[in-house]
Amino acid sequence: MIATVVIDAVLSNDDKVFDYIIPAELAEKVYVGSRVMVPFGPRDTEGFVLGIKETTDFDKGKLKAIQKSPDEFVAIKPEFIEILDDTCAKFCLRKIDVIRLFVPSTVRGRKRTRKVENKELKSLEIHDKQITLTKHQQDVISKITTANNTFVLHGVTGSGKTEVYMNVIKRALESGKTAIMLVPEIGLTPQVLGNFRTRFGDNVAMIHSGLSPTERYDQWLTLHNGQAKIVIGARSAIFAPMENVGIIIIDEEHDTSYFSESNPRFYTHEVAKLRARFNACPLVLGSATPSIETMHKATMGEYTLLTLDRRVNNLEMPKVTVICMADEIRAGHGGVFSRALLAKLDKTIEEKKQAMIFLNRRGFSSYVMCKGCGWVARCDNCDVSLVYHKDDGQLKCHYCPSRFTVPKRCQQCSGTHLKYGAVGTQKLVEELSTIFPNIPIFRLDADNTKTKDSLIEILSNFAKTTPSILVGTQMIAKGHHFPHVNVVGIVDADNSLHFSDYRAVERTFALITQVSGRAGREGHEGSVYIQTYMPNHYVYRLAANYDYNKFFERELNTRITTKFPPFTTIVRILVTGEVDRPIKDLIQRVMTKLRERIGDFVYLGAMKSPLGRIQNKFRYQILCRFAREKESDIINFVNGILKGENVSKGTFMFMEINPQNLS
């Protein structure tokens, strides 16, 4: 017999498979999906069997034989073989790129030498009770469990979506099937795991970026051999190797972490759709603020819309107050916190409750600038300014690992009047500690949660300390359920509005809704204070009224007028490399070809990316917009042009459809 094998090595841009003879002694060990060792060039290389056939078009005498089939299991399950080609086509990836998503690195590359230890993943202990489903929840559950559609579950924060997920998962398990539940990486809290462990015990495996390779392999294997029937994980868990999937859930479906922005680039929803189709199972996209694209598909009938528009137990949504910071300054109050927020914090502390203060900027201050000449401290390797981190007394780059000492004088004019930029989380903690010297102030951001254990420690300390205040970045926005939090302050709401990106307003709306949703989740009134310099912006008015539907309508109209998705398709072609000239030439050549070969496209430019250099690599990009063509035609067309280009070593070129990030 003959096996067609894809080689696991970076050969070139092409996507070949090779024929190998299956020797008689391996006949019982080589299957479609098996990992094999085959002679390739001067040495043995790893590959994966994609097909088995009786004959070959090649001269059989010249074919080489498979040397080994090292695993006790088939690495790529039939479902993945089935969706391989579609996945490649959707994201312009080579077979081996996609297989690397299917099969973790611990299985590939003979990296697995140590024995697997069954390490218990840490979760927060949950007691939080007996629950009787509401009528609304029951309705939603029965709809999901009776049709294999793609559902959009639009439910306000605290409306009991998680409870719905757990129930549909329970039903899937009862009918002998498995379940995939995805949450954003930062929403993957010990609380979530705790909840699922309490309900489903050892049936739950967890996949996220904080696992060591051994832990990841362990989790993968328990799913692969059917020991665990539920996976909870960040986006890569969509490739969990379970069979007979009965339900796929993507919680906080609008979250940008579902787009992989490093190679291989993919969009989780699209893979989920392929898997749901293969398994003939429902797919649930849940959110309090579904993305404009997702909601558009629901209104067009492609997805089925389900709504939970009230909090459970008829709890009120928190009351939102929008505060104009310009007014504060005019009234002589120049601090970071408005008078209203401070007064509310006072009261909260007096009542022995808790507050959460949200600011999407970590560090102490966003930049250091010379007042004399305007010099700004910048990274040596990236075109960005450095962020001051008072904790470590360093200037840090947020795009690469570079660290610098804090200058005492300007490096341009030697002046000593240095100005510190916009405040970050560290500075907020310092300010709050001065205002409330006897109250514990916790901080949660990427700088102090490098390990899952530190995350658990901060969260559980906050949970058991009243009164107290938690300051954090968007890490505090998602999923948390702290019963004693009755006030939420959003310090610099405009921060995310200022991105030059057609999704900036949508993201701001989602973020405000998420953060606000942390307040008043159990029995008492919650309040939210949004501090802004643009109090009349519609995003604040509509977020304050929880009016998602009006927001959606308005945003959709804007997309029509400005010709942005979902009414057009935006393609970004990005080229990066260490030497400026060749990549500049490359992007120009691609631009010329694009221009020559198509008439009807709006061209947004070939230029240095807004972030012109990251980690010492120059970045150039083309943004173009297609108004009419089908997405798959666009992918084929652009991919055809890119494949025809010779890309030198050390240069990377790729395209993205409707990119999440334009810089």
Q: Which does 381 bind (CB under 5 to 8 A by kind): Zn ion, ligand ADP, none?
A: Zn ion
Residue 187 touches ligand ADP, criterion: CB under 6 A = no
Which one, 133 or 173, has the nearer CB to ligand ADP? 133
CA distance 448 to 349: 25
- Record the tokens describing residue 46, joined without a space: 């790893």
CA distance 282 to 180: 11
DSSP string over 511-560: HHHHHHTTSS-SSS--EEEEEES-TT-HHHHHHHTT-HHHHHHHHHHHHH
Q: Which does 162 bind (CB under 5 to 8 A by kind): Zn ion, ligand ADP, none?
A: ligand ADP
To ligand ADP, the closest distance from the beta carbon of 517 in angstroms equals 6
Residue 380 touches ligand ADP, criterion: CB under 6 A = no
Judged by DSSP in three states, 377 sits in coil
Residue 520 touches ligand ADP, criterion: CB under 6 A = no
Q: Which of 415, 483, 565, 612 binds Zn ion (CB under 5 A)?
A: 415
Q: Which does 373 bind (CB under 5 to 8 A by kind): ligand ADP, Zn ion, none?
A: Zn ion
Q: Which of 160, 194, 290, 363 binds ligand ADP (CB under 6 A)?
A: 160
Q: Which does 382 bind (CB under 5 to 8 A by kind): Zn ion, ligand ADP, none?
A: Zn ion
Residue 134 touches ligand ADP, criterion: CB under 6 A = yes
Strands across the sheet with 230-233, in order? 204-207, 230-233, 178-182, 245-251, 283-287, 150-155, 304-308
Residue 69 touches ligand ADP, criterion: CB under 6 A = no
CA distance 169 to 95: 32
Q: Which of 15, 86, 139, 163 binds ligand ADP (CB under 6 A)?
A: 163
> How far is CA 639 from each of CA 90, 384, 443, 547, 585, rounded to the nearest angstrom?
11, 31, 45, 41, 18
What x-and-dash track marks residues 304-323 binding ligand ADP by CB under 6 A?
--------xx----------
Residue 394 touches Zn ion, criterion: CB under 5 A = no
Residue 413 touches Zn ion, criterion: CB under 5 A = yes
Residue 133 touches ligand ADP, criterion: CB under 6 A = yes
Residue 241 touches ligand ADP, criterion: CB under 6 A = no
Rg for the chain, CA atoms, rounded: 27
Q: Which residue has the tokens 């097909």?
A: 51
Which one, 44 or 522, has the nearer CB to ligand ADP? 522
Give the interface segment with Zn ion, choosing from 206-214, 400-408, 621-629, 635-643 (CB under 5 A). Answer: 400-408
Tell me the sheet residues that pair with 231.
180, 205
Q: Nearest Cα to 514, choosing from 156, 137, 128?
A: 156
Which one, 358 or 502, has the nearer CB to ligand ADP? 358
Q: Which of 183, 211, 272, 379 binds Zn ion (CB under 5 A)?
A: 379
To ligand ADP, the closest distance from the beta carbon of 311 in angstroms equals 7
To ligand ADP, the closest distance from the beta carbon of 494 in angstroms equals 26
Q: What single DSSP character describes residue 146?
A: T
DSSP string over 42-103: TEEEEEEEEEEES--SS-GGG--B--B---SS-SS-HHHHHHHHHHHHHHT--HHHHHHHHS
Residue 459 touches Zn ion, criterion: CB under 5 A = no
- Record the tokens describing residue 642, joined without a space: 């890119």
To ligand ADP, the closest distance from the beta carbon of 166 in angstroms equals 8
CA distance 7 to 442: 50
Which one, 291 or 425, has the nearer CB to ligand ADP? 291
Give the interface segment with Zn ion, choosing from 156-164, 177-185, 375-383, 455-463 (CB under 5 A). Answer: 375-383
Which one, 35 or 480, has the nearer CB to ligand ADP? 480
Residue 538 phi/psi, 5-degree rounding, is: -60, -25
- Which residue blocks in 391-545 are alpha helix, DSSP H? 425-435, 452-463, 504-516, 538-544
Residue 162 touches ligand ADP, criterion: CB under 6 A = yes
To Zn ion, the closest distance from the beta carbon of 414 in angstroms equals 7
- Record the tokens describing residue 601, joined without a space: 């496209």
Number of helical (H) and strand (E) elements in the chain, helices listed first: 17, 26
Which one, 370 or 471, has the nearer CB to Zn ion? 370
Q: Nearest Cα to 269, choosing from 85, 80, 90, 513?
A: 90
* Total of residues contacting ligand ADP (CB under 6 A): 17
Residue 612 touches Zn ion, criterion: CB under 5 A = no
Q: For binding to Zn ion (CB under 5 A), which residues are involved?
A: 370, 372-373, 375, 379, 381-382, 397, 399-400, 402, 410, 412-413, 415
Q: For binding to ligand ADP (CB under 6 A), which residues are involved?
A: 128, 131-134, 137, 155, 157-163, 312-313, 481
